[in-house]
Amino acid sequence: MSSWLQELFNTSKPIIAMCHLRALPGDPAYDHQRGLDFIVSSARKDLLALQEGGVDAIMFSNEASLPYLTQVAPITIACMSRVIAELRPDIDRPFGVNVLWDPRASIDVAVATGASFVREVFSGVYASDFGLWNLNCGEIVRHQHAVGGAHIKLLYNIVPESAVYLAARNVVDIAVSTVFVAQPAALCVSGLTAGAEASAETLQLVKDAVPGTPVFANTGVHSGNLAETLSIADGTVTGTAFKRDGHIWNEVDVQRVRDFMCIARACRGD
């Protein structure tokens, strides 16, 4: 197993918490009256609550940029970079970025802000609610190196939400070939949408298939299934479970974070 999880997160089974940004300029739901300052202040409140609750890392995402694009506009890259840059003095643990659903943009924002990792769909061809995804990981990784991002860890989402692999390939074959071809830092296994559980069976299949690569449960982990999840996966990417009433668009509830992390620490033997 790669030691980078321990080195970066100071634990072998990190909990990466999503800090969901509100709709950005150019998004249909952008609040023109409140503007970018409101996005920054809202994100800061969530960031501080997540850190106070004890998560191991933060990942910033334009979760409210619905409907998503597979190639975002420059304004999205610029605004996400600005928001994260304004929050940098308040960030006291490792952080990553995810520009939905644009792997190049995610890498660009990571380079601009000093992020340590990126989660995205980097490989494969998918039929999705956002159109046809045709990814070329070779081009994307070369772009990563060209812009000075070789140090950034790439977390490959191999079961992306709202999409299905176009060829008749099972998840084990996808995992094995992705690891061989792309050598990702980690794989992420998702449910149908944000907040939807990835099945324990699928997690176990992927974990068994690529024992030398970290595997994250990417969606749908909550206090009720966390112990089972961490018995299989090498960590979680969690957002909805930390929100008030468990609703994705609510603000972060610090007590829900504390309760979740109490279970995580017990499972890890911290």
Checking if the pLDDT of 31 tops 60, the result is yes
pLDDT band at 210; cut points 50, 70, 90: very high
pLDDT of residue 189: 95
Average confidence score pLDDT of the chain: 95
pLDDT of residue 160: 86
Instruction: Give the pLDDT confidence of 68-83 residue by residue, as tens digits.
Output: 999 999 999 999 999 9
* Mean pLDDT calculated for residue range 53-63: 98
Checking if the pLDDT of 220 tops 70, the result is yes
Instruction: Give the pLDDT confidence of 162-204 residue by residue, as tens digits.
Output: 888 998 899 999 999 999 999 999 999 987 666 678 889 999 9
pLDDT band at 2; cut points 50, 70, 90: low
Checking if the pLDDT of 57 tops 90, the result is yes
Instruction: Give the pLDDT confidence of 115-142 residue by residue, as tens digits.
Output: 999 999 999 999 999 999 999 999 999 9
Look up the pTM and report it. Answer: 0.97
Instruction: Give the pLDDT confidence of 242-262 residue by residue, as tens digits.
Output: 999 999 999 999 999 999 999
Burial class (CB in 10 A: 0-12, 13-18, 19+), 73: middle
Element (H, E) at 60: strand 57-61
- Phi, psi angle pair for 109, to nearest 5°: -65, -35
Checking if the pLDDT of 22 tops 90, the result is yes
- Return the percent helix, strand and coil in the chain, to nearest 5: 40, 20, 40
